[in-house]
A and B are shown apart, each in its own frame.
Chain A
């Protein structure tokens, strides 16, 4: 009998295995429950794509962007606002995974781990989400952007972190979502992507900000140097070209004219290691968390590049890629003496759980991207570019520092369709706004395409912000 007892330890092992399994299940449940709930088939939140019970989403001025009325999810009255904020707010489906209605679904539906989804209404607490965006600015940006195949425009307050404008095209009306079939899928290609957060583009000349930063920090006599541009120069057996012969110039002028030859030469002189180090430090290869949503990381990798390719990488070609949100953050860092405030989208969720406190409504500093001296110099360069090349009245009296760029994209090879960029910030104390705009599929340069989007959006954003202060 004693032996039987001893041997029954084998079953004890089974019971322990069972308990370990249960512990694993409990941990999985605690970690995963809020994701598990957010399924389109979930009968407890059925109807309107599971948003029947969801609360109100509103912008910074308490304009309702989405709400449930009579068992139906209703979006903003203005079709342009609906289309402009599709990627921020989301629609009835879960197709736009970075949208608030996908990411904050459990908060919107009043889910909590302890009570699940069936807490009586009187206890369920508010389920509303307040955003930092300004509907008017987004609408303006959208109207400027819709001229082009696709694009993105982001503006954020680099002092507080609030995202004022976040518009991505292609888009559609969430009140009347299209049925995407084989026939029209080209027309809607990439429509579920928020280009601000989830796309990267070839930067073109806006990458000269990075090359300039590397030069300022690593070449002591950089401000005494001059270069001569004849429109074309051979580097490592291949040509680097400029749109025109810029003649003799110093760094400031080279930045203003956006001279490829100067920055290509600088990249080669600085070398692979310094360029990579600077790009890393400025967050080009990093991903940022915006209210819990990760941005797509850019790319600067010259480890396999020839010298000729290294030269082109210095002017934002080769395999360089950047993300609009990350460029806005970089501009914010330049405006703030090198340390950016990480933007956020969600001002607050009413009755939100402890868990969300880290996510919502608080500005946090990012890692230092530049020395304050370098930031100051870059600011001067970008300011000079606006004053000298784009005209200081372009932004309606705002003290804007910016850089344009035109990325030659592989997909448009053989055609003259490019990615046009403008990134920068307003140095005005009352409207501390950083922006990044990109449009795809344009034959013109960044200034005349993305520049116009940035201009319209920035003027509107400044006006909205100033009106708000007056109130």
Chain B
């Protein structure tokens, strides 16, 4: 009998990684599907030669520069001459400081001006007529990510949701039978089945959210949300055998995060409106950091918490969202306001404030995000190198005058000599328990890493690896990293460069944060104490992750397109 039980346990443990891989694969497979085929939205026909130029994007730069979306080979045309963009109301053209000017039907345009089909646009010595896209008949190539997609429809969203729900229920049941669970039986109100209550609540949240998304908001796609619900659920279920209360808190915070997610998508629906809010958001973010600096609570060496009655929040997590708002911008603004001064100052304030708090991990995330945004905006290597040099110099100065900062990292790559002191205590245990878990894990609730401080947040990769196995942990990590692939693949289909930039940056932030988390806990990088996106326990963290996800979701034109048709 015992042998039969053991065989069952081993078989189930081996199934778990396979199941994880199937779910993650399905999430990404669905993302590739249901995409409108590559075609010209409108086209520009040269009135002299009759040559038709397809207009592929929602925002198109027109100029002499070869990198322009529509390159015009004419010496009278400026490098970045104007921007042709699509909005809900139709097509517009905006001059972006050209020397010779842009004309619609003979009159010069300065601000954004609407153009209608058959209107004549004059740029330099050229004249173009705006025509409907279906007049363009040539084949257009898709990017590799979307080419060769079979015609078979992707897995239906609800089926994917059932798979995910079953996975979480499986985790709940496994937690019920964890080692030592028998000893709980002496209680009248058996806590053996506690994990199932949380699991039930989790499943309820998942399906309510799914229902709202598909019926109330009428969204056509649900794949990114599926993936992140899957990750969030794993995070919650990892907590049930550690601390029931924090599992519940995590679930509630995740629900708040989903609301934030929907609200943010609504808020950024109109990319032109965001420009007006930029300054307010910037001031609010700096204010938050200032409050944090003044009233910050010191935990684990960094003062990045503030206490509000019964809840503690980590303002820096919310500033991440603000940061992307400030950094991203629409194409016509991008071309007229090339300078980054405002953004650079804002970045320096953020990174400086975080460094003052001693939260080097988050400071690093901001700095890296700064590099990404400034490069994606300007394409300027000089800015990149300048920023890196500046940061290097700043780091040297800090280490010179505050040598104790270095002490925090002294155990790096030497954790086995520091297993009993603060320098390597956590990392050594993370590695030991990753190894103890093997490829298939010891089962939910059977781990030992859960007794180590911060195992549910900073060391959660180790906890996941120990209890669910190394394969699952690595698969989850790769799934989060693949969000970037997705963000990048929707870049050119976004309704504005605002979405493209913000989606890439949000995905970049998540990848950087996850890398710091995994590699910090496993002693490949110094331990900086940042969270694993969606999995780590921490209310502020999970809300901000869902907030960042909103940018990726918004970049996909499917998110809004259907609603427009229904109006």
Q: Do they bind each other?
A: yes
Give the contacts of B390-423 with A (CB-CB under 8 A): 419
A36-B434 contact, Cβ under 8 Å, with A21-B524, A22-B474, A22-B477? yes
Task: Count how many chain B residues have C-beta atoms less than 8 Å from C-beta atoms of the other chain.
Answer: 69
CB A26 to nearest CB in B, in angstroms, measures 7
* B481–A19 touching, CB < 8 Å: yes
| A42 sits at the interface (CB 8 A) | yes
Contact mask for chain A residues 21-53; partner B; CB cutoff 8 A; 1 contact, 0 none:
110111011001110110101111000000000
When distances are taken between beta carbons in the complex, the residues of chain A under 8 Å from B68 are 2-3
Contact mask for chain A residues 1-33; partner B; CB cutoff 8 A; 1 contact, 0 none:
111111110111011011101101110110011
When distances are taken between beta carbons in the complex, the residues of chain B under 8 Å from A29 are 434-435, 470
* B10–A21 touching, CB < 8 Å: no
| A117 sits at the interface (CB 8 A) | yes
When distances are taken between beta carbons in the complex, the residues of chain A under 8 Å from B163 are none
| A122 sits at the interface (CB 8 A) | yes
Bound together, the chains give a CA A239 to CA B492 distance in angstroms of 91
* B511–A14 touching, CB < 8 Å: yes
When distances are taken between beta carbons in the complex, the residues of chain B under 8 Å from A11 are 372, 376, 484, 488, 504-505, 507-508, 511
Q: Which of A1, A112, A113, A120 contacts B69 (CB 8 A)?
A: A1
Bound together, the chains give a CA A119 to CA B440 distance in angstroms of 10
Contact mask for chain A residues 113-143; partner B; CB cutoff 8 A; 1 contact, 0 none:
1111111111100000000000000000000
| B446 sits at the interface (CB 8 A) | yes
Give the contacts of A376-428 with B (CB-CB under 8 A): none
A39-B60 contact, Cβ under 8 Å, with A113-B439, A114-B439? no
When distances are taken between beta carbons in the complex, the residues of chain A under 8 Å from B5 are 120
* B448–A36 touching, CB < 8 Å: no
| Identity of the chain A residue whose Cβ is nearest the Cβ of B512 in the assembled complex | A14
Bound together, the chains give a CA A329 to CA B377 distance in angstroms of 71
Contact mask for chain B residues 437-477; partner A; CB cutoff 8 A; 1 contact, 0 none:
11111110010100100000000000000100010001001
When distances are taken between beta carbons in the complex, the residues of chain B under 8 Å from A15 are 481, 484-485, 511
CB A42 to nearest CB in B, in angstroms, measures 5
Most buried by B among A28, A29, A118, A123: A118
Q: Which of A17, A26, A121, A123 contacts B474 (CB 8 A)?
A: A26
* A21–B511 touching, CB < 8 Å: no
CB A109 to nearest CB in B, in angstroms, measures 10
* B492–A25 touching, CB < 8 Å: no
CB B208 to nearest CB in A, in angstroms, measures 33
A116-B437 contact, Cβ under 8 Å, with A2-B69, A6-B67? yes
A25-B511 contact, Cβ under 8 Å, with A1-B491, A44-B442? no
* A115–B515 touching, CB < 8 Å: no
Q: Which of B440, B448, B477 contacts A115 (CB 8 A)?
A: B440
| Identity of the chain A residue whose Cβ is nearest the Cβ of B483 in the assembled complex | A15
* A42–B515 touching, CB < 8 Å: no
When distances are taken between beta carbons in the complex, the residues of chain A under 8 Å from B519 are 21, 25
| B61 sits at the interface (CB 8 A) | yes
* B419–A5 touching, CB < 8 Å: no
When distances are taken between beta carbons in the complex, the residues of chain A under 8 Å from B442 are 44, 116-118
Give the contacts of A340-354 with B (CB-CB under 8 A): none
Give the contacts of A429-448 with B (CB-CB under 8 A): none
Bound together, the chains give a CA A6 to CA B379 distance in angstroms of 9
When distances are taken between beta carbons in the complex, the residues of chain A under 8 Å from B485 are 15
Bound together, the chains give a CA A12 to CA B504 distance in angstroms of 10
When distances are taken between beta carbons in the complex, the residues of chain A under 8 Å from B60 are 1
| B59 sits at the interface (CB 8 A) | yes
Interface of A is mostly: helix
Bound together, the chains give a CA A122 to CA B10 distance in angstroms of 11
* B446–A118 touching, CB < 8 Å: yes
Q: Which of B9, B488, B508, B522 contacts A25 (CB 8 A)?
A: B522
A36-B435 contact, Cβ under 8 Å, with A2-B492, A4-B501? yes
* B376–A7 touching, CB < 8 Å: yes
CB A425 to nearest CB in B, in angstroms, measures 41
* A118–B438 touching, CB < 8 Å: yes
Bound together, the chains give a CA A363 to CA B337 distance in angstroms of 77
* A39–B432 touching, CB < 8 Å: yes
| B371 sits at the interface (CB 8 A) | yes
* B518–A1 touching, CB < 8 Å: no
Bound together, the chains give a CA A118 to CA B9 distance in angstroms of 11
Bound together, the chains give a CA A356 to CA B98 distance in angstroms of 74
A115-B6 contact, Cβ under 8 Å, with A1-B497, A10-B376, A21-B515? no
When distances are taken between beta carbons in the complex, the residues of chain A under 8 Å from B524 are 21, 24-25, 28
Q: Which of A24, A33, A39, A116 contacts B441 (CB 8 A)?
A: A116
* A25–B372 touching, CB < 8 Å: no
Q: Which of B10, B57, B428 contacts A1 (CB 8 A)?
A: B57
Bound together, the chains give a CA A54 to CA B316 distance in angstroms of 48
CB B293 to nearest CB in A, in angstroms, measures 29
When distances are taken between beta carbons in the complex, the residues of chain B under 8 Å from A18 are 481, 511, 514-515
* A122–B3 touching, CB < 8 Å: yes
| B500 sits at the interface (CB 8 A) | yes
A1-B6 contact, Cβ under 8 Å, with A7-B379, A10-B371, A15-B511? no
* A8–B2 touching, CB < 8 Å: no
CB B323 to nearest CB in A, in angstroms, measures 15
Q: Which of A33, A43, A114 contacts B448 (CB 8 A)?
A: A43
When distances are taken between beta carbons in the complex, the residues of chain B under 8 Å from A113 are 435, 438-439
* B518–A117 touching, CB < 8 Å: no
Q: Which of B10, B56, B372 contacts A119 (CB 8 A)?
A: B10
A120-B435 contact, Cβ under 8 Å, with A1-B497, A11-B508, A42-B448? no
CB B14 to nearest CB in A, in angstroms, measures 10
CB B555 to nearest CB in A, in angstroms, measures 11
Bound together, the chains give a CA A37 to CA B442 distance in angstroms of 14
Bound together, the chains give a CA A7 to CA B440 distance in angstroms of 39
A8-B504 contact, Cβ under 8 Å, with A32-B431, A39-B419? yes
When distances are taken between beta carbons in the complex, the residues of chain A under 8 Å from B558 are none
Mark A residues whose CB is within 8 Å of B: 1-8, 10-12, 14-15, 17-19, 21-22, 24-26, 28-29, 32-34, 36-37, 39, 41-44, 111-123
* Apart from A7-B379, A8-B491, A42-B436, 16 more pairs, CB < 8 Å: A1-B331, A1-B491, A2-B61, A7-B375, A8-B376, A8-B500, A8-B504, A11-B372, A14-B368, A18-B515, A21-B518, A29-B435, A33-B434, A113-B439, A118-B443, A120-B9
Report 6 cross-chain contacts, Cβ distance below 8 Å, ordered by A residue.
Answer: A8-B491, A14-B515, A43-B451, A113-B438, A113-B439, A119-B10
